[in-house]
Amino acid sequence: MSVLSRLEAIASKEFKQLARDRVTFGMIVMIPLMQLLLFGYAINTEVRNIPIAIVDQSGSAGARNITEQVRVTQVVEIVDYYATPKEAEEALVAGKVSAVLVLPHNLAQRAASGEPVGQWLVDGSDTMVGSALLALRSMPLQMVAGVPQGAYQGATPSFEVALFFNPERRSEVNIVPGLTAIILTMTLVLFTSAALVRERERGNLELLITTPISPLELMVGKLLPYIVVGLVQVTIILGLGQLVFGVAFQGELLSLAAITLPFIAANLALGLLISTRATTQLQAMQLTFFILMPSILLSGFMFPYAAMPLPAQYIAEVLPATHYMRLIRGVFLRGAETGQLLADTLWLVGFTLVMLVIATKRFRKSLD
């Protein structure tokens, strides 16, 4: 009974402090708001207005038709026309354009037989540009004038898997759930990493450790109020995501809770561990960024996990954010059940327990 009583005492004390600390309280709401708007609007992984040139050797209506269709994608901006591929190549080397579309003499013939209608010459040095144009390669072309209906099916490849859940290629769809992982990592680790350090700096801890409280009671008690904080933030992010970006949540709320609670707990436990190591709040902050940077870069939020080199994948695998990124994208966009994502969920639960045990072991009720 006294265990529960102490847990409740710590948790409610922590909650009162939190509610009265206006800066922290503001951060709980403002960080998700700011981040979501910034990332949602500013980070645009879509590539637009790549400067290209056209070499139209056929001079046919079909060629003009295709050129027009490429132009309206807005992925490219036609800045020049050349007579021969050689001139175009020179412009490419000079950096005047990033790509050239060559439409050959026998365009109508190729279209009729279902062969590729033209060739892209692409400056591959910018991978983002490269992949954007690679996507154009499989662009479904409308009927070319003079070619009978249905004859052109072969040159229009089917959908790519990457487009499957995001047919409009909108980056917000991927960014909103991903941001949940990043914002929770940022705020929750930061809050709890400062939690014990602050008490130590202010001298509260010296009094607290002369009481019969056990380290585990102290740890868990401190963690409980922040679970509520985490849930509030998730609600803000997903609610705003729907409101502002129209990214609708398609899964089960229960599944969302089942994957989010272990992730919140994992971050809080990680923060507590930092708190037992850091001696000042500044140190706690620095250690938090040490966790935060790889979480942003390696978790699959910025770059696809599968495209990373193996060592980076190993590091990513240790970070709770990586696991949650997989979980939330699964639950959020594909409406996957928690059962299908059990491994990652269990990993988060395990991570939480391990961190808690280490933090508890590291926390000594002495000033030595």
Partner 1 sequence: MTEPAIRARALSRHFGEVIAVDGVDLDVPSGEIYGFLGPNGSGKTTIIRMLCGLLTPTAGEVSVLKLNIPAEAEALRRKIGYMTQKFSLYDELTVAENMMFMARVHGLSRGAARTRIKQLLDRYGLTAMRDRFAGAMSGGQRQRLALAVATLHSPTVLFLDEPTSAVDPENRRDFWEKLFDLSDAGTTILVSTHYMDEAERCHQLAILETGHLRKHGTPRTLMAELDGRVIEISGPNLRQVKEQAMQLPEVQSAAQQGLQLRILLRAAARDPIAGLRAQLGDGALRYAVTKPSLEDVFVASTHGGDGG
Instruction: Give kind and range of the element (H or E) at residue 120.
Output: strand 119-122
Closest separation between CB of residue 25 and partner 1, Å?
12
For residues 4 and 161, which CB has a smaller minimum distance to partner 1 in the complex?
A: 4
Nearest Cα neighbor of 187 from 321, 15, 363, 301 is 321
**Which of residues 86, 148, 210, 253 is near partner 1 by CB under 8 A?**
210
Residue 240 · residue 183 · CB < 8 Å: no
For residues 151 and 209, which CB has a smaller minimum distance to partner 1 in the complex?
A: 209
The DSSP output letter for 203 is T
**Which of residues 23, 207, 243, 310 is near partner 1 by CB under 8 A?**
207
Residue 79 · residue 97 · CB < 8 Å: yes
Q: Which stretch binds partner 1 (CB under 8 A): 105-113, 123-131, 206-214, 281-289?
A: 206-214
Place of tokens 């080397």: 93
Does 65 bind partner 1 (CB under 8 A)? Our answer is: no
The token duo for 142 is: 């409308």
CA–CA distance, 27 with 190 (Å, rounded to integer): 11
Does 2 bind partner 1 (CB under 8 A)? Our answer is: yes
For residues 109 and 211, which CB has a smaller minimum distance to partner 1 in the complex?
A: 211
The DSSP output letter for 148 is -
The token duo for 80 is: 């020049």
Does 220 bind partner 1 (CB under 8 A)? Our answer is: no
Residues 252-291 that bind partner 1 (CB under 8 A): none
Would you give the binding string for partner 1 spanning residues 120-159, x where CB under 8 A is met? Answer: ----------------------------------------
CA–CA distance, 25 with 37 (Å, rounded to integer): 19
For residues 20 and 86, which CB has a smaller minimum distance to partner 1 in the complex?
A: 20
CA–CA distance, 293 with 194 (Å, rounded to integer): 18
Does 368 bind partner 1 (CB under 8 A)? Our answer is: yes
The neighbouring-strand residues paired with 77 are 51
**Which of residues 125, 153, 158, 366 is near partner 1 by CB under 8 A?**
366
Q: Which stretch binds partner 1 (CB under 8 A): 9-17, 32-40, 230-238, 274-282?
A: 9-17
CA distances to 27, 32, 45, 188, 347 from 192, in Å = 14, 17, 33, 6, 21
Instruction: Give kind and range of the element (H or E) at residue 55.
Output: strand 50-56
Does 222 bind partner 1 (CB under 8 A)? Our answer is: no
Under the rule (CB under 8 A), what is the footprint of partner 1? Answer: 1-2, 5-6, 8-10, 12-13, 16-17, 20-21, 202-213, 365-368
